[in-house]
Structure 1
Amino acid sequence: MRNQDIKKFINKLLKLAGITVNGNNPYDIQIKNDRFYQRVIHEPALGLGEAYMDNWWECRALDQFMSKVLCANLAEVLKKEWQITWNILKPKLLNQQSSRRAFMVGQTHYDIGNELYQGMLDKHMQYTCGYWKDATTLDQAQEAKLELVCRKLKLEPGMKVLELGCGFGGFAHYAATNYGVEVTGYTVSKEQAKFGKELCRGLPVDIRLADYRTATGEYDRVVSIGLMEHVGYKNYGTYMKLTNRLLKDDGIALVHTIGSNASCSACNSWTAKYIFPNGMLPSIAQLGKAMEKQFVMEDWHNFGEDYDKTLMAWHENFKQAWPNLKDRYNDRFYRMWEYYLLSCAGGFRSRSMQLWQIVMTKQGTSAPCCRLI
């Protein structure tokens, strides 16, 4: 296929989403290198992201561009392209989220510098969606999210809480400080573990650098905030069985996760390469199947639109912090991180992705309903 034909095809495709190449709208893209077309037609998701990183195209409102592309479902037109086929096939053959590979995301994403995350995140260092129902700032939204989780878990002083995937220790710190509970947290990031231990110094919090599958003991509550995206469809059942085994009979478990509208076995190829190795978004069907015979689903709360606001706040903080970060990171990293944050914001704005909080209890118990909205 000649480059001129590919160019016409891509331009026509974008027109379906209301996007004009080199147009005047903020969501129109400006092509700076004609090799863009060949790159995108051969590797749509990966090529589009890498071309942006290499400054081959620009867009004044990247979040709006991505939202329009996703709403128009343009990816379906290119679905038969062979690289996409391989990305779908590979996870079916391999367990991309095995214990052996568990620390890859920590090394690639979470260990790239706490200064970056301190500049981008809120005072509680929450790297998951905030709850914006009554909030006007990122700090308020993240504190509201932490409070919402604690209330759904019905925490009481003296309880033992297990946090699978504890991030920078923000939830553990908040729960221990405000609810008087003991928290044991697991993370595969050395930098997160280091930060969390310092943050929670003097509190009844034990943060461990280990894969969640190594957790042992018995707990009143089990919670994961942003872990399920790294678990993988081959391991959803393992996660639920582990949580069931670690949770007391009258306990409550909560999962806070990004969710997909459709069951899949692969991640966006650009995201997998540059942001979250081995990442995968679960669907309702996949999580429901894994929960069978393990839990009663007490509440399933979707506030995916709040992730758009959270990501846009992170992006603004990232831009403001960049002058203090640019000596450590290069311009290509800036464009990579910008593409990551804004394309994800577009994903949630288009409702292509959701944010779920799922509350579960064991079968046969009389645990109270945990709905708060």
Structure 2
Amino acid sequence: MAAHARPLDAPDNASLVDTAPRQWVAGLLGRADIRIGGERPWDMRLHDAAALDRALAEGNLGLGEAYMAGAWDCDRLDMLFDRLLRAHLDREVHPARLAWRALQARLFNRQTRRRAWQVGRAHYDLGNAFYAAMLDPRMTYSCGWWQDGASDLAHAQEAKLDLACRKLGLRPGMRLLDIGCGWGSLMGYAAEHYGVRCIGVTVSREQVGYAQARYAGLPLEFRLQDYRELDADALGGPVDRIASIGMFEHVGRRNHRAFMQVARRCLADDGLFLLHSIGKNRRASTLDPWTERHIFPNGDLPSLGQVGDALDGLFVCEDLHDFGADYDPTLMAWHANFEAAWPRFAGELGETFRRKWRYYLLSCAGAFRARELQLWQWVLSKEGVRGGWRRPQ
């Protein structure tokens, strides 16, 4: 990726790191082998020393907003964040405002029914043309499955969709509920290849409109609906299977249990539920503040223990599968598509958006590469599959 050029009259990076706090930040970065003003792809180039002040005062919120403003650059943000997170430098900076934010996440429900629609408007309704340019042909906005030897994004996403269908044991005539159906990729694939009927819910108007038009000839129903409104009666009876792919990250810790109760009341007694979600390694941590402000309003990644707490007494865990490392190539493929398509959107969205979106995709790629973030697929049953469940090969 081309670097943001430093103005000819700008001071060199050494002169910008001229105070004790900035020198401390530079020393901290040095522990991850990141140099300010270095020549390597993961090194930082400062255009404004205030970027270091903001990073010290606000953590990644300040660092990310300074990048959006053009105050610093890096040729390979993914490599920078891999090193930064591998060295756990994010745990060294403790802005007071972030402590208050963590307390708010524990005390208040930031994912109420009213607030649940915010992420649809702010993120998923950016425009179907924009996402079509970035994603695979099926518009699958979640981690691909590269471990079967997929050669490109399209194959990795179809492999993931097929893996989910095989884990669910789909058969012709079954009914599948997709909670957080996105642009309908799983539903379309399941109907085309496994002969099932599907109902999907999402909080994005753009997604519903796109999916209804694309899959008009298939037995699929798309609803603009909050998951909390679902029950068996509204679905015409319990469904045979449930999937939720890439939506649980928006549910919030104070609603995890309610989400599982909804799934249980909608699922047939002998049904299966596949839950696919990004996860975090530490229960007490909260979503990165830059990501929450600029990308996913009210997001809240679950920990392994939090999912387990939510399942307690409601579901039996038949299988837990982590393939978080596969999100790295998925995000890098999205980034390559985004950069290639950018000239089509530059006039409408502007350079600040470009830097924001680049920071989002590449910082996330670095986080998954560093194994700071995970991707879990859970297979759940109400009472346990008699004789046991076997993961398909």
Please, what TM-score do these two structures have when normalized by structure 1? Answer: 0.97
* C-alpha deviation, 1:158, in angstroms: 0.7
Counterpart of 1:113 in structure 2 is 127
C-alpha RMSD of the superposition: 1.3
**Would the alpha carbon gap of residues 62 and 364 (structure 1) be closer, same or farther in structure 2, given more than 3 Å must change?**
closer
Provide the residue aligned with 2:350 in structure 1. 330
Q: Is the 8 A contact 2:35 2:43 kept in 1?
A: yes
Match of 2:278 in 1: 258
- The alpha carbon displacement at 1:262 in A equals 1.1
Instruction: Name the CA distance, whole Å, in 2 between partners of 1:372 and 1:258.
Output: 22
How far did 1:366 drift? 2.1
Q: Which residue of 2 aligns with 1:98?
A: 112
Asked if 2 retains the 8 angstrom alpha-carbon contact of 1:297 and 1:360, the reply is yes
1:246 to 266, 270, 273: 266
Of the candidates 158, 163, 187, which is equivalent to residue 143 of structure 1? Answer: 158
State the distance in 1 between where 2:206 and 2:71 align. 33
Question: Which stretch has the larger CA shift, 359-368 or 279-288?
Answer: 359-368
Match of 1:78 in 2: 93
What fraction of aligned residue pairs are identical, expressed as a percent? Answer: 45
Q: Is the 8 A contact 1:21 1:28 kept in 2?
A: yes
Q: Distance in 2 between matches of 1:67 and 1:265?
A: 19
What's the counterpart of residue 311 of structure 2?
A: 291
Q: Is the 8 A contact 1:36 1:51 kept in 2?
A: yes
Report deviation, 1:367. Answer: 7.2
- Structure 2 distance, partners of 1:180, 1:370, is 22
- In the alignment, the residues of structure 2 paired with residue 372 and residue 116 of structure 1 have an alpha-carbon distance, to the nearest angstrom, of 35
Alignment of 1:273-284 (within 5 A): 273-284=293-304
Superposed displacement of residue 265, structure 1: 5.6
Q: Which runs of 4+ in 1 moved over 4 A?
A: none
Aligned residue runs from structure 1 range 11-26, under 5 A: 11-26=26-41
1:365 CA drift (Å) = 4.9
Contact conserved, 2:318 with 2:384, CA < 8 A, in 1?
A: no
Partner of 1:37: 52
Alignment match of 1:172 (pick from 152, 173, 187): 187
Query: Structure 1 pair 47/107, CA: closer, same or farther in 2 (3 Å)?
Result: same
Instruction: Determine if contact 1:250/1:367 at 8 Å carries over to the other structure.
Output: no
Contact 1:251 1:367 (C-alpha < 8 Å) held by counterparts: no
From 219, 225, 240, the counterpart of 2:245: 225
Aligned residue among 174, 180, 186 for 2:201: 186
Question: Gaps (5+ residues) in structure 1?
Answer: none
**Contact 2:334 2:361 survives alignment (8 Å):** yes
1:310 to 325, 330, 350: 330
In 1, the alpha carbon distance for the partners of 2:130 and 2:26 equals 36
Asked whether 1:129 is paired with 2:143, we answer yes
Contact 2:179–2:202 at 8 Å: present in 1 too? yes
CA distance in 1 between counterparts of 2:311 and 2:51 reads 44
Query: How far is 1:364 from its partner?
Result: 5.2
